[in-house]
Structure 1
Amino acid sequence: MSPARTPRHDDRRRTFPALPPRPEPDDDFAATWWGNAWVESMEDTALDPARLQRGRAYADRGRVDAITVTPGRVVAYVHGSRPRPYRTEIRLRTLVEDDWEDLLDAAAARPDHIAALLDKEMPHSLAAADLLPAAGDLTPDCSCPDDGYPCKHAAALCYQTARLLDEDPFVLFLIRGRGESAVLADLTRRNAARSAAERPPEPPPMPSVEARTALAPRVLPALPPPFPAPARPGRPPVYPQAPGAPDPMALDLLATEAASRAHTFLTTGLDPVGALTPWQDAVRLAAAHPGSGLTASTRALYRDLAGALDRTPTDLARAVAAWRQGGLAGLAVLEEPWDPPAGPFDRARPALTAADFPGFRPWRNRLSAPTLQLRFGRDGVWYGYESDRDREDWWPRGAPDTDPVGALTALLGR
């Protein structure tokens, strides 16, 4: 009986962590021409501009969870006005074999095309070959009751996908049916075949040099300056699933973390993680875990991290929600009540009452209603919390804001 073979990695499924809110929204949602072309393919066929605007606002505020991309599909959970997020997807036709042959032949024929792809740029002529969607090619679907085309949740997912395409145009190849490794392997094979066909004749042998000449003392030139630091951390290798081996997701998380810290230390000489306590670092690691929902890998990660620090997985999940809401400052707001000085905190209740949000009770740095709560951080920012009525089980929700009315509006999804 032959030994079991280690399964090969399939890069036809990629999950990207939730993107943060955009700090300064502008007219063009995407940063690249191909990202904006993706957005235009949806906007050109949308039936309701108001839904598009709300979807864009959702994307601007970071209300789209981790995005999973597979051939023909882009899927994510989108937070709407209700506590439970909606499962949203966008479908796009995958290319047939003949289309891929034409596309890859065109790319291999131009060395500058291959160089552009390796630099995470999309050549215009290559994208025009049925790679980018045309108007009407994107088909949205959502678990929400809205039958708009698209609904605001699908529009938000489409806008966030454009930001993924900005960073990595190979995501578009994956949506059309092939992963990055397969595309690069095919381009390498075609380029090698083309180079072999165009290879010039072998040059004549190099002239020889006598040993006494080669070993004669000489002054060596100065070493060249070191290479500049890369623009971004390197991507870790892919770890296969194998019996008895460590969890691939845990290995990927640790490798990505090490690469990011090393890059920061190389470029700045500082370690932003070194000053964190073990609990804060565990929360940060769990918050960086890709994926959405309580998956098996998420439960295992939360169990191991929480158990190592004598906390419960629920404690860690709540802390992760606070970290994703406001980073280290958000975690401090969750865990450290304090007495703010006179000033913005005292003006918050009249401002809420004027905005038709009366009935908030103050306690230290918190304003509480039966199911809603605002917490004032030491950074001068208001953070929203929610709880079931009469439970006092507060969870971070919504986007923080320097204005208590804005924070409450984001919490209510208005």
Structure 2
Amino acid sequence: MPATVGGERALTDDERTFEALPPARGQGFARTWWGQAWLRALEDTALEAEQLRRGRRHARQGAVGAVTVRPGRITAVVRDRDGTPHRSDVLVRQLPDSDWELLLEVITGEAGHLAALLDQDLPPRLIEDAANAGVELLPGIGELEPECACDAWDHCPHTAALSYQVARVLDQSPLTLLLLRGRGERALLAELQTRASAEPGKRPDDLGAVAGGVSAYATGAADSSGRETPADQPGVPAEEAFVLGAILPPLPSLPPPVSAPGRPPVLSGGSPPPSEAGVDVTALEFLAWAAAVRAHRALGDALTPEHARNPPEAPLTPAEDAVRLAALDPEERIAARLASGSGRSRVGLDRAVRAWKFGGRRALAVLEGDWRPSAEASARARAQVATAWPEAEGRPALRVDGSHWTVVGEEVQLRYGPRGRWWPYRWEGGAWWPAGSSEADPATALALLRTPR
């Protein structure tokens, strides 16, 4: 079984970030057959052998920073020999829903395939069976599309270095390939659990045990990769639930998704209400529409496979809810009332709305709170910045004040926030304004902030 990536720093169902790997001097980039297949796709895609050679050298020397994998995209900051950072991306085609449907059928068609995925393995037979069904999991010639801040039109040394580094990541975490193709592990395995439990032609002692393994994975049970089970969680053994599922009536189907929130009725009838009524009808109409928008989003979340595993968030405070409403862009008179009611100035509400649009209540907490990193987190962040800029010349000088890391002589700042994320800020009009969504790697966030807009 491949080893778990020891440097993995963040895991959600739609993003995985891996710490920068150490230099790879004196060793190959891929030991597994799927890592080697990835490299073949790279080397068959690139037009210039010299760029590949320079990319290999960059990767061997440890010039590739933290690697972030999302559906269809891999991102990292790659440094030139003089320390100049470049944001580099490699794009891979995501599989359409029809291909995922075929792949799910292939996996559930044989218990061994599902067991291998649970064991963090990618067996050749699964790839072959998927290919026979018309689904190509591994990238082929021309599928690795480069994008780099150096403006190269083909693979440059930076995207080549990133691609070589990804082969090492895939060696250790092959299921990252599924995320790159468009599906996160937990969502995929949860759907496989449902299908495995519903297979009528399989023996419970075979497929039921595998379904139990998926259940343990999905709920956070400890496995060989080191994931921990929440203590004293009540429940039913998965094998028992599988057997009971064969005799219990099926659950009703989920309702279909709603395409858009409904519009509330017009209360004023087109004319302003009498002043003695004491009710701002326009504001009431806006609140009704805002409630419809929120209900639509809540319903969409409830219909996702991950909903049952995600605990509900705490209710919004009045001050947070005022920002949520203002982010819906009401007319100026209503926005002014929201600012006053939440104890903010009009400009303060605009700053809060910008933060909300970048990251909801977490981004708002970063703007208006102070999340002080631990000594360990601060040391790790400094090391990441030093790694991204190994030479003192060109490395940004940082002035640290709690969770605020300001680049000396520049109008840019990072703020440390919940879940160890770094949020970018710019100095505008005499105040610090949110400038984007968060990044797991402070060096990546800094490089993006310092890129000319």
TM-score computed with the length of structure 2 as normaliser: 0.45
TM-score computed with the length of structure 1 as normaliser: 0.49
Larger radius of gyration between Structure 1 and Structure 2: 1
